[in-house]
Amino acid sequence: MRNMKIWVFVVILFWGGLIAACNSPAKQMHEGLWRGVFILPENEIPFTFEVKGKGSESNSVFLINGEDRFELKKVSYSNDSVLIPIDLYDVILKGKVTETTFYGNYLRRGANNKITSIPVKANFGALRRFTATNEAPAYSLEGSWDVVIISGNTSTNTVGNFTQKGSGLTGSILETSGDYRFFEGEVTGKKFFLSAFGGSSPYLIKGEFSNDSIFSGEFVTLRQTSKLEGKRNPKASLPDPYTVTHLKEGYSKIEFSFPNLEGKKVSLSDSQYQGKVVVVTILGSWCPNCLDENAFLSAWYKENHQRGVEIIGLGFERKDDFESAKISLTTLKNRLGIPYEILFAGKSGTESASKALPALNGISAFPTTIFIDKRGNVRKVHTGFSGPATGKFHEEFKREFNELISQLIAEN
C-alpha cells in the first residue's frame, strides 16, 4: 500500500511537470542590443541588431548598420526556438534561444530552390561589433578611394567612400551596378575592419594601411574571399552611369504592357501617363539597391507628383508566375509605402529584363532607371543606384535627378 502511494505521488509529479512545461511561455530574446556573428570556415562576420517588443504580435528585430535600421517583423517563438523571417530576400534566421543567447542558422533559398545554410550565434548586450584592440588609429580611412577587388584572374574597379569619427567607421563600396549599402566598423592601429548585414548577404572587409594613402586587405562574402587594393583619391569615380544603357538605333520610345498587382494591364499609352514626365524603374523585391532607390522615389513622388510626374516600377521576380510575384512585390510596396504602380514584368535577371524592353541595347543592372519626356521619348537611362550609404555620391545622384526632372517638366 505504501509503494502504491509513492507511485501515485510520482505519477502526479510527472503529469504536473508536463502540464507546467506545456503551459510555460516560450523563451524570448531579451529586449535591447545584440551582437551576432556569421561563422564561416576561415572568418566570422559580425553584425548588430536590436530586439524590441514582447509577445508574438509586437516583437521585432532591427538590423543595425551605421545609420540604417532595417525592421524584421513576424518574429515567432515556440518553446526554446525562434524564427526571424527576412521576407524580401527569402532568408530566415532560425535557432535556439535563451534570454541572452542565440544559436542557429542563416537559411537562404536561391532561385533554383537550393538552400544556403550558415551557422550564426549571438549574445545579448551592447557589445562592440569587432573585438579588436583599443589601439589608437594610426591612419584615417576618411574620404574617397580607388578600390580594386581581385578574385582569381578577375579584377573589378570600384570606389570606396568612408567616414571616420575617432576609431569608428561607416561607408560603402560602389560598383557600376550599385553599392554594397551600409558598412560599419573601426580602425585600430594600422588595421581596419568593416562589416554589413542588411538582411540579404553579410559582408566583411579587413584591411591594413601601408601608409596614409594605400591599403590592402580582403573582402569576404558567403561565396568567396577576394583581395582588396585601395589608393586614396579624392576624385575617385565610376564610369558615367548614363552611358551604359541606351536606345537602339532607330528607336525613340519604349513600349510595354504588364499587369499591376491587381492583375490589370498597364502601359505607357494609358491616359494617366499622357503628356507627363514618366520615370520607369526596373527593380526586384530581392534587390537591396532597388529597395534604396524605391525608398527615395516613394518619398520624392509624394512631394512632387503634382508637378506632372509619374513613376512606374517594373518588377522582375524570382518566380515567373503572377501569384508569387504579387506576394513579393506587395511586400515591397507595403514596406516602403510606395504610392505608384508596380507591375510584374517577368523573372529576375538582366536577360529577362532586356527581352522585356527590346528597344534598349540591354539591361545590365538592377535597378535601371528610364527618364521619359512629355512626348513619350526616352531622354536618359541611368544604370545602378548610389544609395544613402555612399554619402556624397548619393547627394550627387539626387541633385542630378532633380535637375533632369525639372528640365523635362519645363519643356513644352
pLDDT at res. 208: 98
220 with 348, same domain? no
CB-based contacts of 326-331 (< 8 A; 24+ apart in sequence): 326/261, 328/87, 328/88, 328/285, 328/286, 329/261, 329/285, 330/261, 331/87, 331/88, 331/285
Q: Domain for residue 247, yes or no?
A: no
pLDDT above 90: residue 14: no
110 with 196, same domain? no
The closest alpha carbon to 228, from 194, 259, 187, 263, belongs to 194
Q: What band does 121 get if pLDDT is binned at 50, 70 and 90?
A: very high
Q: Domain for residue 111, yes or no?
A: yes
Please give the tally of structural domains in the chain.
3
pLDDT above 90: residue 24: no
Q: What band does 55 get if pLDDT is binned at 50, 70 and 90?
A: low
95 with 162, same domain? no
Q: Please, what is the Cα angle at 406 between 303 and 307, to 5 degrees?
A: 40
Q: Are 281 and 367 in contact (CB under 8 A)?
A: yes
pLDDT at res. 2: 44
Using one digit for the tens of pLDDT, what is the confidence trace for 200-247?
999 999 999 999 999 999 999 999 999 999 999 999 999 999 999 999
pLDDT above 70: residue 5: no
Q: What is the mean pLDDT of residues 37-43?
A: 96
Q: Which residue has the higher pLDDT, 9 or 201?
A: 201
169 with 82, same domain? no
Q: Which residue has the higher pLDDT, 11 or 34?
A: 34
Q: Domain for residue 59, yes or no?
A: yes
The helix-helix angle for 322-336 and 288-304 (nearest 10°) equals: 60
pLDDT at res. 131: 79
Q: What band does 110 get if pLDDT is binned at 50, 70 and 90?
A: confident
83 with 160, same domain? no
What CATH number should be reported for the domain holding residue 267? 3.40.30.10
Using one digit for the tens of pLDDT, what is the confidence trace for 248-305?
999 999 999 999 999 999 999 999 999 999 999 999 999 999 999 999 999 999 999 9
pLDDT at res. 6: 40
pLDDT above 70: residue 25: no
Q: Which residue has the higher pLDDT, 42 or 3?
A: 42
Q: Domain for residue 18, yes or no?
A: no
Q: Which residue has the higher pLDDT, 114 or 358?
A: 358
Q: Which residue has the higher pLDDT, 272 or 19?
A: 272
Question: Which range marks the domain in which residue 117 is found?
Answer: 32-124
Which alpha helices (H) appear in 242-358, and where do they start and end?
Answer: 288-304, 322-336, 350-356
Percent of the chain scored above 90 by pLDDT?
Answer: 87
Q: Domain for residue 227, yes or no?
A: yes
Q: Which residue has the cell 521576407?
A: 87
Q: Domain for residue 246, yes or no?
A: no
Q: What is the mean pLDDT of residues 188-196?
A: 97
pLDDT above 60: residue 15: no
Q: What band does 23 get if pLDDT is binned at 50, 70 and 90?
A: very low
Q: Domain for residue 19, yes or no?
A: no
274 with 166, same domain? no
Average pLDDT, the chain: 92
User: How many C-beta atoms surround the C-beta of residue 258 within 10 A?
Assistant: 18
pLDDT at res. 56: 56
Percent of the chain scored above 70 by pLDDT?
Answer: 92
114 with 163, same domain? no
